[in-house]
Structure 1
Amino acid sequence: MSLSLFDLTGRVALITGSSQGIGYALAGGLGRAGARVILNGRDASKLAQAVDSLSAEGLNVTGSVFDVTDPDAIEAAVARIEQEVGPVDILINNAGKQHRAPAEEFPDEAWRDIFRTNVDSAFFAARSVGRRMIERRRGKIINIGSVQSELGRPTIVPYTATKGAVKMMTRGLAAEWAKHNIQVNAIGPGYFDTPLNAALVNNPEFSAWLCGRTPAGRWGKLEELIGAAIFLSSSASDFVNGHMLMVDGGLTASV
Structure 2
Amino acid sequence: MFDITGKKAIITGGAQGLGLTMAETFQKMGAEVAVIDISDEVYNVPAKLNETNVLVHAVKGNLLDLDQLKDSFSEALEKLGGKVDILINNAGMIQRKPALEFSIETWNRILGLNVTSVFELSRLAAVEMKKQGSGKIINMGSILSVLGGYNAAAYSTSKGAILQLTKSLSNEWAEFGIQVNAIAPGYMLTTMNDDLMNDPVRAPQVEARIPAKRWGTAEDVAGVALFLASPASDYVTGTLIPVDGGVLAR
d(CA) in 2 for partners of 1:135 and 1:58? 28
d(CA) in 2 for partners of 1:82 and 1:57? 21
Task: Tell me which residue corresponds to 2:79.
Answer: 84
Task: Tell me which residue corresponds to 2:216.
Answer: 220
SS across alignment from 2:166: helix
**Unaligned runs of at least 5 residues, structure 2:** none
d(CA) in 2 for partners of 1:26 and 1:49? 16
**Unaligned runs of at least 5 residues, structure 1:** none
d(CA) in 2 for partners of 1:125 and 1:248? 26
Q: Report whether the alignment pairs 1:139 with 2:135.
A: yes
Q: Report whether the alignment pairs 1:48 with 2:43.
A: yes
Q: Report whether the alignment pairs 1:120 with 2:116.
A: yes
d(CA) in 2 for partners of 1:10 and 1:52? 20
Q: Report whether the alignment pairs 1:171 with 2:170.
A: no
Structure 1 counterpart of 2:14, from 13, 18, 27: 18
d(CA) in 1 for partners of 2:90 and 2:223? 16
Q: Report whether the alignment pairs 1:60 with 2:55.
A: yes
Q: How many residue pairs end up in the alignment?
A: 249
| Alpha-carbon offset, residue 25 of structure 1 | 1.0
Alignment deviations for residues 5-58 of structure 1 (CA, whole Å, 9 cap, x no partner):
1111100100001100111111111111111111111122x1122221112565
Counterpart contact for 1:74–1:128, Cα < 8 Å: no
TM-score, length-normalised on structure 1? 0.94
Which amino acid in 1 is paired with 2:34?
Answer: I
**Same amino acid, percent of matched pairs:** 39
d(CA) in 2 for partners of 1:161 and 1:29? 30
SS across alignment from 2:180: strand
Alignment deviations for residues 212-240 of structure 1 (CA, whole Å, 9 cap, x no partner):
11110110111111110000000000000
The runs of at least 4 consecutive aligned structure 1 residues that moved more than 4 Å come to 56-59
Task: Tell me which residue corresponds to 2:68.
Answer: 73
TM-score, length-normalised on structure 2? 0.96
Which amino acid in 1 is paired with 2:190?
Answer: T
Q: Report whether the alignment pairs 1:244 with 2:227.
A: no
Which amino acid in 2 is paired with 1:179?
Answer: E
Counterpart contact for 2:188–2:217, Cα < 8 Å: yes
d(CA) in 1 for partners of 2:54 and 2:201? 39
Counterpart contact for 1:54–1:61, Cα < 8 Å: yes
